[in-house]
Chains A and B, each alone.
Chain A
Amino acid sequence: PGLTMLGKAYEFFQICDMEGKGFITRQDMQRLHPELPLSLEELEKVFVTLDADGNGSLTPKEFTTGFSEFFLL
């Protein structure tokens, strides 16, 4: 089950990281706005919540950690 979750997290990471940079920026997150039923404010909140070290970019590790926390709830 752990591996399935990681695979899913990575799929989602790739949806956000459309250019395949290997990290997600605020702009990448805001680009999802037309596709997801979340406001820009909510997307910003998601970004800040996932960006554990606050450096302005989300690594696959930060993204996966956030996803696993959600998954375990």
Chain B
Amino acid sequence: DPNMKAGATSEGVLANFFNSLLSKKTGSP
């Protein structure tokens, strides 16, 4: 199902985005 694939990709990108924000908050010296 292409829709499910698109959804999964969006979730991956969202996870990447929020994880990056998390490390931005905590990762800078």
Q: Which residues of A contact B (CB under 8 A)?
A: 11-12, 15, 35-38, 42-43, 45-46, 49-50, 66-67, 69-71, 73
Assembled-state Cα–Cα distance A42/B26 (Å): 22
Cβ contacts under 8 Å, A38 to chain B = 13, 16-17, 20
Interface of chain A, main secondary structure: helix
Q: Which residue of A is nearest B10, CB measured? A: A49
Minimum CB–CB distance from B27 to chain A (whole Å) comes to 11
Interface of chain B, main secondary structure: helix
B17 touches A11 (CB 8 A): no
A36 touches B14 (CB 8 A): no
Cβ contacts under 8 Å, A69 to chain B = 11, 14
